[in-house]
């Protein structure tokens, strides 16, 4: 690692990068290899590769314990899981959800023929603003989908009260929130159902994977049919299903992940505190806080950049970091409502989303996870502070040299992670 003390040492001004290897957001966590390989050998010996095999059943049981929900149905990914929940609950019409989420939340609903109604979020929590949710309800509203962004819980009680009052469905996209709590209770047991993701970038991965947690035996039963072509007996198909079964190899990976989860969270938590210390008292940047009274997974370290105070935009800061091989990421940019097909459908009466638009311009997720530690965080902190202390000079130099802000990292490495 090269330490940067002066602006002319920044890689974006053609000096060597601080890091030889790229530092990623959401670099996959790898569980104990010996145990994984032992499980794979057992699986091959059994020749039971999919269709509710023993690893999938064990993974579902262990998830149910962790998530505090009696029923867990494992799926191929969270996107299909959400589609099947919307199907099983027979939603029709409009569904209120945030635009500040990964595009999959909206796509899953839209692919069910539902009409996503994007609602603004609370600037403090980054999650759905309950007052704005209530204002968005129409006679066509079927349900609300909240997202526990960064693993920080939605305003669950308020949303539950609204859903009860208006007789709406309520489901949470808990893709970020494995192992997190709200009011001390595990996320997984709220609403009609909660949907988890085990994509490679999430804290526990099954390569690709997802699961639905629910208190309803009836809903779980329907999901079990839906994920398996609608079969409810050997030769009997009860409804229009699809194929969303989690294979055994994924569940084997997931079981190892659950065994390692507390250790990974400990590393994430330490990284988060190291980052907080780097930017403590620094004007113009804040590491989004986690509530220490809740259990969290600390998978995301999110910097909020105040461009006016700093003299640099978030994208300029990001370009500086990428040149140093620090692959910090914009999140949910530019917002679902600005992506297709929703962008083309924006109508005159579509709600304006000022908080969402501000967040998509100001948040920057920083590399964390088991792949990095204190030394890297100090190096990153130093680069960012250097930029902030000399924000105007850095900005003027960037503008004078017309450095493209979609800069590519020096390693040119394709990212193993995507923006989820
Ligand atoms: C990752 C993610 C998804 C999609 O999960 P997949 O398992 O990749 O389908 C949905 N919503 C959010 C908020 C996510 O971060």
pLDDT per residue as tens digits for the range 381-408: 999 999 999 999 999 999 887 777 775 6
Dihedrals φ, ψ of 403, to 5°? -65, 130
CATH classification (class only), 7-28+262-401: alpha beta
Scan for tokens 């085990």, then name that residue.
198
Q: Where are the domains of the chain?
A: 7-28+262-401, 33-256
What does the pLDDT read at residue 349? 58
What does the pLDDT read at residue 209? 98
Residue 34 CA, ligand 1 centroid: distance in Å: 28
What does the pLDDT read at residue 401? 79
Strands 329-330 and 363-366, bridge-based pairing: antiparallel
Residue 294 CA, ligand 1 centroid: distance in Å: 22
What does the pLDDT read at residue 402? 74
The ligand 1 atom at the shortest distance from the C-alpha of residue 79 is 9
pLDDT, averaged in runs of 10, over the chain (420 residues) = 91 94 95 98 98 97 98 98 98 98 98 97 98 98 98 98 98 98 98 98 98 98 98 94 98 98 98 97 95 97 94 95 97 95 78 92 95 95 95 91 69 47
Return the biggest CA–CA distance within the chain: 72
CA nearest neighbour of 200 among 250, 263, 255, 150 = 250
What does the pLDDT read at residue 330? 96
Question: Does the beta carbon of 117 sit less than 6 angstroms from any atom of ligand 1?
Answer: no
Q: What percent of the chain has pLDDT over 90?
A: 89
Which of 116, 197, 201, 333 for a ligand 1 pocket mutation test, highest count of atoms within 8 Å of Cβ? 197
7: left (phi over 0), alpha (psi -120 to 50) or beta: alpha
pTM of the model: 0.95
CA nearest neighbour of 209 among 191, 226, 227 = 227
Domain 33-256 in the same topology as domain 7-28+262-401: no
Per residue in 123-147, pLDDT (tens digit) is 999 999 999 999 999 999 999 999 9
Residue 82 CA, ligand 1 centroid: distance in Å: 10
Topology of the domain comprising 33-256: 3.40.640
Question: Does the beta carbon of 176 sit less than 6 angstroms from any atom of ligand 1?
Answer: yes
Per residue in 54-73, pLDDT (tens digit) is 999 999 999 999 999 999 99
């Amino acid at each position: 690692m090269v330490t940067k003390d002066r602006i002319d040492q920044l890689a974006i001004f053609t000096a060597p990068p601080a890091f030889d290897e790229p530092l990623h957001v959401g670099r996959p966590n790898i569980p104990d290899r010996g145990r994984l390989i032992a499980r794979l050998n057992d699986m091959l010996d059994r020749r039971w590769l999919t269709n509710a095999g023993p690893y999938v059943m064990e993974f579902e049981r262990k998830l149910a314990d962790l998530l505090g929900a009696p029923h867990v149905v494992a799926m191929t990914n969270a996107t299909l899981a959400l589609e099947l929940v919307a199907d099983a609950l027979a939603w029709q019409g409009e569904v209120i959800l945030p635009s500040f989420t990964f595009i999959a939340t909206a796509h899953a609903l839209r692919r069910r023929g539902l009409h996503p109604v994007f609602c603004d979020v609370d600037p403090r929590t980054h999650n759905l603003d309950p007052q704005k949710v209530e204002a968005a309800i129409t006679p066509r509203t079927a349900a609300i989908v909240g997202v526990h962004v960064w693993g920080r819980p939605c305003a669950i009680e308020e949303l539950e009260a609204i859903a009860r009052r208006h007789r709406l469905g309520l489901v949470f996209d808990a893709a970020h929130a494995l192992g997190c709590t709200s009011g001390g209770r595990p996320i997984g047991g709220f609403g009609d159902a909660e949907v988890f993701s085990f994509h490679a970038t999430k804290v526990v991965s099954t390569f690709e994977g997802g699961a639905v947690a629910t208190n309803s035996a009836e809903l779980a039963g329907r999901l079990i049919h839906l994920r398996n072509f609608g079969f409810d007996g050997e030769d009997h198909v009860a409804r229009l299903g699809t194929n969303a079964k989690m294979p055994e190899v994924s569940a084997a990976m997931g079981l190892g992940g659950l065994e390692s989860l507390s250790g990974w969270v400990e590393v994430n938590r330490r990284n988060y505190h190291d980052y907080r210390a780097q930017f403590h008292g620094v004007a113009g940047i804040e590491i989004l806080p986690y509530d220490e009274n809740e259990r969290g997974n600390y998978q995301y370290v999110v910097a909020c950049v105040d461009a006016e105070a700093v003299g640099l935009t978030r994208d300029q800061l990001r370009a500086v970091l990428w040149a140093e091989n620090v692959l910090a990421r914009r999140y949910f940019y530019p917002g679902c409502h600005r992506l297709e097909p929703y962008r083309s459908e924006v109508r005159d009466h579509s709600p304006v989303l000022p908080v969402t638009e501000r967040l998509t311009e100001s948040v920057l997720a920083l590399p964390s996870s088991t792949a990095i530690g204190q030394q890297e965080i100090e190096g990153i902190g130093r680069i960012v502070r250097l930029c902030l202390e000399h924000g105007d000079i850095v900005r003027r130099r960037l503008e004078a040299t017309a450095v493209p802000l979609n800069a590519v990292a020096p390693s040119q490495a394709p990212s193993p992670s995507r923006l989820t």
